[in-house]
Structure 1
């Protein structure tokens, strides 16, 4: 298991949605606070992204922006224009755009999408992202990311057999490529990257994280994880804690409980199987640990999440 894929799987809920949007100047739309994470790709034209905090960001053809924290923002052709609130459909999909005037040619074409996240167990890997992840066209070496954008735009422009499944798969792939591109750029921007950008670039810490994510049920010790990392126990513990933000066994417990929450929410596994998959030898010990972490018993959590 790789950490980035795992972190997204733990937070993702429901089905992602996307669509192509033709914009006719002057235009503006506002997305209000919510549980979603949104991305926008300017395929043609220009505009402005106005985040909840910080300066407006000028956008041009090929620019990609990703907003992961659920805070409101606006997209507009003109900073002086008051944008209209974009209201999602009940299933989380984008509303159909209004019909254009006959013969009108759009000034701007955007590829937009939304992912729904469970923020009660936000992985720090996503929590430390900036308010706006901006990937300007031509910045960095991200040919694969651009290829996914082109494939997704083509599927949305001309749906063909299998499009429903292909679009969802491409949306998941696009999200991973956006995040990978940002962390690669972050590591390149600094001689001494910090936080998860540094953790994912550190072979020793990554080896330990991959071990924990691949087998959260295993009775890991600091010594065993240090051996996986190729470091002494003390050196490993210091490096892991500095980059990840918590000691190795503390992260192990947190990840076990996060995994348990996802299994209870998304699967119909008996509690004893959830306990076994997350490293607990008895259902009682698991229920006690789960209630200490979530404040409710596993069964009650499952009922609320269903």
Structure 2
């Protein structure tokens, strides 16, 4: 399993926020949803992404893809100087800048939102709503905003997502989630492979015959009682040789990497399943729930029980659901 597949194979989009935004200039939307990652692609016309804090505006043309990493806010507009007239908050809640609910006023059709049905600009938007859906290691490797130029390899995925986003068939949510995952992987693969890319150590290390093999073993079976010696034996090198090369390429020793990966997996299990803390501990390689809880709290700052009950995994309350844009799950969809 390679680096990107490994990161996205387990934690993946579940009920992601997807919509087609159709706008006639002048228009600007302020994004303050604090979502971990948002993918945008222009289908027609042009759009600018203006980062907060005075960053340089980024222009997107047809087929270009932008990936914005939260939680920092940004503005999407027809031009860098256009004043925002709408604000999108956590969970896709849309209001005016003064707080008046705005979603219903701008719903055009299923998962389509904007100020004009035949607007000059159309943008596909896909947002991962929960931190657990994207590995923290991946998020840490990304800049606040990255762009990938239009490419023949991503065009078919964009065409399919554009066709499916306005459909409302059985199983549609799962289809859209998987298309979003595929498009994100394709975009990140292109970005990491660009000339002069400063890819993270774990990504470059996957191409190393020794360290790549060790990484795949750790990621595939985090519950195994790994030691540096047993990992080196499986990789076919000496213990010292593996420890030195692993640390050099990945940036941390093998057992430190394994601890981080185990706790990443555990965090998603705590959020997405009803498994007991003891069961989660076993699934990620801890012999006792006490040892697991101590390690989890040392790294995450809270106990597994506290993490499971934290607002990170909570659903929106009813008033927020009623004000959401039409790209959320069916229960949150507005009727035009």
Report the TM-score range of the alignment, normalised by the length of the smaller protein: 0.7 to 0.9
Once residues 302 and 224 of structure 1 are traced to their aligned partners in structure 2, the CA distance between those partners, rounded to angstroms, is 33
Once residues 230 and 56 of structure 1 are traced to their aligned partners in structure 2, the CA distance between those partners, rounded to angstroms, is 49
Residue 129 of structure 1 aligns with which residue? 142
Residue 327 of structure 2 aligns with which residue? none
Maintained 8 Å contact 1:11/1:118:
no
Maintained 8 Å contact 1:35/1:116:
yes
- For the residue of structure 1 that corresponds to 2:260, the secondary structure is helix
Per the normalisation by structure 2, the TM-score is 0.77
User: Does 2:268 match 1:262?
Assistant: yes
Q: Describe how 1:144-183 pairs up with structure 2 within 5 A.
A: 145-183=154-192
User: Does 2:70 match 1:69?
Assistant: yes
Q: Describe how 1:20-169 pairs up with structure 2 within 5 A.
A: 20-32=20-32, 34-52=34-52, 54-88=55-89, 91-92=91-92, 95=103, 97=106, 105-118=118-131, 123-138=136-151, 143=153, 145-169=154-178
Per the normalisation by structure 1, the TM-score is 0.83
Structure 1, gaps ≥5 residues long: none
- For the residue of structure 2 that corresponds to 1:218, the secondary structure is coil
Once residues 2 and 93 of structure 2 are traced to their aligned partners in structure 1, the CA distance between those partners, rounded to angstroms, is 29
Once superposed, what is the RMSD of the aligned Cα atoms? 3.0
Maintained 8 Å contact 1:10/1:258:
no
Residue 300 of structure 2 aligns with which residue? 294
C-alpha change, 1:158 and 1:257, in structure 2 (3 Å) is: closer
Once residues 58 and 87 of structure 2 are traced to their aligned partners in structure 1, the CA distance between those partners, rounded to angstroms, is 19
Once residues 9 and 308 of structure 2 are traced to their aligned partners in structure 1, the CA distance between those partners, rounded to angstroms, is 17
C-alpha change, 1:251 and 1:2, in structure 2 (3 Å) is: same
C-alpha change, 1:125 and 1:229, in structure 2 (3 Å) is: farther
User: Does 2:208 match 1:202?
Assistant: yes
Quote the offset at 1:258 in angstroms. Answer: 1.9
Maintained 8 Å contact 2:7/2:138:
yes
* Deviation digits for residues 223-272 of structure 1 (CA, Å, limit 9, x no counterpart): 33234444433332233223322111011111112222222221111232
Residue 243 of structure 1 aligns with which residue? 249
Quote the offset at 1:108 in angstroms. Answer: 1.1
Q: How many residues align?
A: 297
**Taking CA–CA contacts closer than 8 Å with sequence separation of 6 or more, which of the two structures ends up with the larger relative contact order?**
2
Maintained 8 Å contact 2:41/2:60:
no
* Deviation digits for residues 16-50 of structure 1 (CA, Å, limit 9, x no counterpart): 11111111011211112613411111111112111
Quote the offset at 1:208 in angstroms. Answer: 1.4
Once residues 12 and 25 of structure 1 are traced to their aligned partners in structure 2, the CA distance between those partners, rounded to angstroms, is 35
Structure 2, gaps ≥5 residues long: 95-102, 109-113, 315-336
